[in-house]
Amino acid sequence: MIETHNLSKNYNAKNAVNNVTLTIQEGEIFGFLGANGAGKTTTVKMLTGMIFPTSGSAHVAGFDVVQRGIEVKKRIGYVPENGALFESLTGWEYLQFTADLHHLDPHVSLKRIEEFLTLFGLWDERNGRIQQYSKGMKQKILIAAALIHNPQVLFLDEPLNGLDANAALVFKELLKKLSGQKKTVFFTSHVLDVVEKLCTRIVVIHEGIIIADGTAAQIAQSTGQATLEEAFHTLTGVRDARESAQDFLEALGRE
């Protein structure tokens, strides 16, 4: 469903993503991990057709992301990390706007918007401007907009940001069910517990290069650690966490 071959992106002299080669199957919940600035969002942006690769190729849902970008975008849903929305629209209007861009039948979109807003507990706020929404409410709108056209592939960049525990639980269950329907989920998050429990396969990227690939257990085993969190730290940590915390404490103690 998602295939990349030597995918790279350079910004001036810096390699943000370097020769990433991946094959993600239909129905997979794929966890993509990395520290800040590791190249996660850049990879997602290339796969969603937001930016073009410097070299290499990528196919999503059978289409080349550069040559057939529009076809790719018709088949994907994306929850971006930055959460940009047209905030002077109401929640209802934004979902209607997204449905229109995806050519959804007006009757279908009307019903789906109603259902989504109700399921997310936003029905009473549907006519309020997004500007007035809380962070969690905005995130729900982003998720609803990503799902509204029933995409084959979902790209989720920190999708749980701002969601309350109940909404997060529902969303995680939904992802499992979507995976059961052969939909592919490309999941990026810093919350390793969630990734560990949810994802069927995990890839760790560090400074633009893939450094680990497997299930959570396989990655932990390969680094000789007990948990994914410890394995992640071993793979990507530049300093010992305890030492860093101690330095912070000392800085607080200084007048």
Using CB under 8 A as the criterion, which residues of the chain lie in contact with other proteins when the complex forms? 48-51, 70-71, 73-74, 76, 78, 80, 82, 84-90, 93, 97-98, 100-103, 127-129, 131-132, 155
Closest separation between CB of residue 96 and other proteins, Å?
9
Residue 231 CB, shortest distance to other proteins, in Å, is 31
- Based on CB atoms, which residue is closest to other proteins, 98 or 189? 98
Burial of 194 (0-12, 13-18, 19+ CB in 10 A): middle
Closest distance of CB 226 from other proteins, Å: 38
Nearer to other proteins, 24 or 46 (CB): 46
Q: Using the minimum distance from each CB to other proteins, give the nearer residue, 71 or 229.
A: 71
**In the complex, least distance from residue 152 CB atom to other proteins, rounded to whole angstroms:** 13
Cβ closest to other proteins, residue 69 vs residue 121: 69
Taking the C-alpha atoms of residue 235 and residue 238, their distance in angstroms, rounded to an integer, is: 9
For residue 88, the one-letter residue type is S
Min dist CB 222 to other proteins, Å, is 34
* Residue whose CB is less far from other proteins, 55 or 131: 131
Two tokens at 216? 């959570």
Q: Which is nearer to other proteins, 8 or 223 (CB)?
A: 8
Angle at 247 between CA 230 and CA 192, to 5 degrees: 25
- Find the shortest distance in angstroms from Cβ 114 to other proteins: 19
